Structure 1
Amino acid sequence: MPRLAIDHRYMLSSLGRLLAIPSPTGYTDTVVRFLTGELEALGLAVELTRRGAIRAIRPGRREEGARAIVSHLDTLGAQVKLPKDNGRLELVPIGHWSARFAEGARATVFTERGSYSGTILPLKASGHTFNDEVDAAPVGWQHVELRIDALSRNRDDIRRLGIETGDIVAIDPQPEFLDNGLIVSRHLDDKAGVAVMLAALKALQDAEAETPVDIHFLFTIAEEVGVGASSVLSHAVASMIAVDNGTTAPGQNSDEFGVTIAMADQTGPFDYHLTRKLVALCRDNEIRFQKDVFRYYRSDSASAIEAGADVRTALITFGVDASHGYERVHTHALRSLAELITAYAVSPVEIKRDFKETSGVRGFTRQPSGEAEQELSPAIEDEDLKR
């Protein structure tokens, strides 16, 4: 069965609804409940870990050697470090992102009593007051503060509002879905990946597609702080593909169109055989793709391997411009990823030895070891090679 048709409207609608739910790492209960409802509406039973990572299994012809697809629900954000004497809030980041991209952001701080909106501003925010000092201000989390949209002029006012150290701050996504297919928003990493997975699952369900093994749809809640898929995998899973953003920037080969297949990230190369299977599926199904290597990047796959999971891993990405900042992606990349997931889900199992966690060398994989065969130009004669 070739790649399946993707419900484009459903994918974009899912992305819009996901972006509307604040979910910085540590504050993911609401988005977990939302996604659980979506998965159940698509016909899958849902299992949650204690903290809320999601596993939903679409049955195939056999349980052993299952395939997993994973993305993460958590996003970047911040926490209240200290209430300040001026009635504003000192912040620390959740996840790794620069305060450069926090300046000017609208945000929401969640307290035990309720929430307050606000704006993250540099300490010297008024050009009418500080003149050129505004442009000379350094970049860093110690150089910004959250101005609360409430009467708050000192520490006592902050205390009366019920805002305390440790309260979670969500950064408003401010999404724009443009007619030319571009999507501009914060938190496309990785809510776009979640929407891609939902669209792929819907395509499989609509087509009543049969898969050779179970497909585990996994959604983690702490990838941005390095935890990722460390505790949601079952022993039945033999291979796992992470769906996340690729970085379109100078020195990178990622693109906002098609699938970007990561060959390695900062934790090392991805599985040789799984990545090449994905490349072959793109070629066979005429899905546009490119390869890339990420130097300052890790995904759900890394945490699974570091936790001791013996699974083949790969990373497929949608090219995002300005990752961890004001992100932008094109719908072509999202649809291409969903198509690749469907093609992978229905593809035959080639490494049948993976049905067991351990076995002998019989059936073990091989990698090319000889010299590459050169394709000669017709203009090159044998005599030319002897010179």
Structure 2
Amino acid sequence: MKKLSIDADYLKATLLELLAIPSPSGLTDEIVHYAVGKLQDLGIESELTRRGTIRALMKGTQSAPDRAIVAHLDTLGAMVSEIKDNGRCALSPIGTWSSRFAEGARVSVFTEHGRYRGTILPLLSSGHAFNEAIDTQPVAWSQLELRIDEDVTTAIDLRNIGVQVGDFVAVDPQPEILDNGYVVSRHIDNKGAVAAFFAALKAVKASDVVLPLDCHPVFTLTEEVGSGATAVLHEDVSEVIGIDVAPSAAGQETKEYGVTIPMKDSAGPHDYHLTRHMISLCRQFEIPFQRDVFKFYHSDAGSAVMAGHDVRTALLCVGTDSTHGYERTHMRALISLAELLVLYMQSPSVLARDKNTRSGIEGFSHQLPEKDLQPINQELPNPIEWFTKHEKE
């Protein structure tokens, strides 16, 4: 295995290109075209499902079992839910995010007749008109409205320019990449990880490394609304790596550098062996990392297991402050993630036994060493003796 150099300029350019394409869940066709074009530029074959999930292929020396690395292209957003008498629109969120982060956002509204620009505002938005009442109104989507930058003051005006219930609203990312390496933008979830993924793929394609297993880069379109990688994995996939953002906040171990390796999220613990394989790669190749546990979090990896796929999962994340808000990460985190993905693609299957979808107990893994199985209470039977006797029989 080799720790390959990551093209930071390519990563930055790809991130800005991704951020420039609106892609709230349900409005993702254009970013699919972009992602397939990037894969074609790298000489990577891909195919699309009916709705546009991308399944690509990096050939290895072995085709089964193989592995999938999954990132989502969709972002948070909103949808027009009501045409209001005052010429403004009520909104329903796409994805799970707080209305407090929508206040003041500049947006694009996509109608059947074209795009309009606007701002999401609280119902009471002028201190000159409402004084301290603006500070006491509740935080809720019902307390927001969309002001469209056109001559519209009634519901009829809105309908006349083509605004309808169900129109998509995409929030401007407003990205900044600072000289000190900080990246500040909306939608770093998940366009930061996607950009790092493309940089990793570029590094592998530009090198002479040989992959031991077929690797399937997969780009999903509905992670923010819960489905994600539920029905897109190839039959031979035994390992699924989700790549996403990690919340940097009080009570979390995540930092805005290195790679965050979650041990558990709302879908339960990630695979013991695959997760520790990632930790081992970080230690061996001196990639900074943190372990973490996420309390309110789901991912493509979790979606795959919840859908019934019998696969090992791990999650690799970019430490991000204010997730699902106005987000911030650092180039060090993005590059570290790309470096780890490159190493993982070069590594063997975490357990050779996984080439079989069904087999007997012979060769099945152990998680606990013998010393940890010695009974603490002497009245309990010794499981080591049972294992030894059973194996002889």
**Please, what TM-score do these two structures have when normalized by structure 1?**
0.95
Alignment of 1:12-27 (within 5 A): 12-27=12-27
2:285 is matched with which residue?
285
Amino acid at match of 2:97: W
Contact 2:215–2:345 (8 Å) recurs in 1? yes
2:31 is matched with which residue?
31
Q: What secondary structure sits across from 1:65 in the alignment?
A: strand
2:331 is matched with which residue?
331
Contact 1:351–1:363 (8 Å) recurs in 2? no
1:355 is matched with which residue?
355
Q: What secondary structure sits across from 1:228 in the alignment?
A: coil
Amino acid at match of 1:355: K
Pairwise CA distance, 1:314:
0.4
> Where do 5+ consecutive residues of structure 2 fail to align?
374-393
Contact 2:247–2:321 (8 Å) recurs in 1? yes
Contact 2:89–2:146 (8 Å) recurs in 1? yes
Following the alignment from structure 2 to structure 1, what is the Cα–Cα distance between the partners of residues 208 and 46? 19
Contact 1:23–1:75 (8 Å) recurs in 2? yes
1:172 is matched with which residue?
172
1:72 is matched with which residue?
72
Following the alignment from structure 2 to structure 1, what is the Cα–Cα distance between the partners of residues 38 and 267? 33
Contact 2:273–2:350 (8 Å) recurs in 1? no
Q: What secondary structure sits across from 2:319 in the alignment?
A: strand
Amino acid at match of 1:191: K
2:120 is matched with which residue?
120
Alignment of 1:1-387 (within 5 A): 1-371=1-371
Amino acid at match of 2:286: E
Following the alignment from structure 2 to structure 1, what is the Cα–Cα distance between the partners of residues 349 and 307? 25
Q: What secondary structure sits across from 1:82 in the alignment?
A: strand
Q: Deviations over 1:263-319 (max 9, x none)?
A: 000111000000000000000000001100001001001111111111100001010
Following the alignment from structure 1 to structure 2, what is the Cα–Cα distance between the partners of residues 351 and 284? 19
Q: What secondary structure sits across from 1:184 in the alignment?
A: strand
Pairwise CA distance, 1:211:
0.7
Following the alignment from structure 1 to structure 2, what is the Cα–Cα distance between the partners of residues 308 and 299? 15
Pairwise CA distance, 1:179:
0.5
Amino acid at match of 1:11: L
Following the alignment from structure 1 to structure 2, what is the Cα–Cα distance between the partners of residues 242 and 27? 22
Q: What secondary structure sits across from 2:287 in the alignment?
A: coil
Pairwise CA distance, 1:369:
4.5
Following the alignment from structure 2 to structure 1, what is the Cα–Cα distance between the partners of residues 177 and 136? 35
Following the alignment from structure 2 to structure 1, what is the Cα–Cα distance between the partners of residues 87 and 349? 60
1:381 is matched with which residue?
none
Pairwise CA distance, 1:3:
1.6
Q: What secondary structure sits across from 1:60 in the alignment?
A: coil
Contact 2:122–2:145 (8 Å) recurs in 1? yes
Contact 2:274–2:350 (8 Å) recurs in 1? no
Following the alignment from structure 1 to structure 2, what is the Cα–Cα distance between the partners of residues 349 and 77? 38
Number of equivalences: 373
Amino acid at match of 1:312: R
Following the alignment from structure 1 to structure 2, what is the Cα–Cα distance between the partners of residues 160 and 179? 46
Contact 1:72–1:222 (8 Å) recurs in 2? yes
Amino acid at match of 1:96: T
Following the alignment from structure 1 to structure 2, what is the Cα–Cα distance between the partners of residues 27 and 270? 30
Following the alignment from structure 1 to structure 2, what is the Cα–Cα distance between the partners of residues 208 and 168? 44
Contact 2:277–2:350 (8 Å) recurs in 1? no
Identity %: 53
Q: Which moved more, 1:301-310 or 1:113-122?
A: 301-310
Q: What secondary structure sits across from 1:359 in the alignment?
A: coil
Q: Deviations over 1:201-246 (max 9, x none)?
A: 0000000321111010000000000011011101111101100000
Amino acid at match of 1:119: T
Contact 2:10–2:199 (8 Å) recurs in 1? yes
Amino acid at match of 1:297: Y
Following the alignment from structure 2 to structure 1, what is the Cα–Cα distance between the partners of residues 209 and 53? 26
Following the alignment from structure 1 to structure 2, what is the Cα–Cα distance between the partners of residues 367 and 253? 24
RMSD over equivalenced CA pairs, Å? 1.0
Pairwise CA distance, 1:361:
1.9
Amino acid at match of 1:143: Q
Q: Deviating runs (4+, > 4 A) in structure 1? A: none
Following the alignment from structure 1 to structure 2, what is the Cα–Cα distance between the partners of residues 28 and 350? 34
Contact 1:91–1:146 (8 Å) recurs in 2? yes
Pairwise CA distance, 1:372:
5.3
**Please, what TM-score do these two structures have when normalized by structure 2?**
0.94
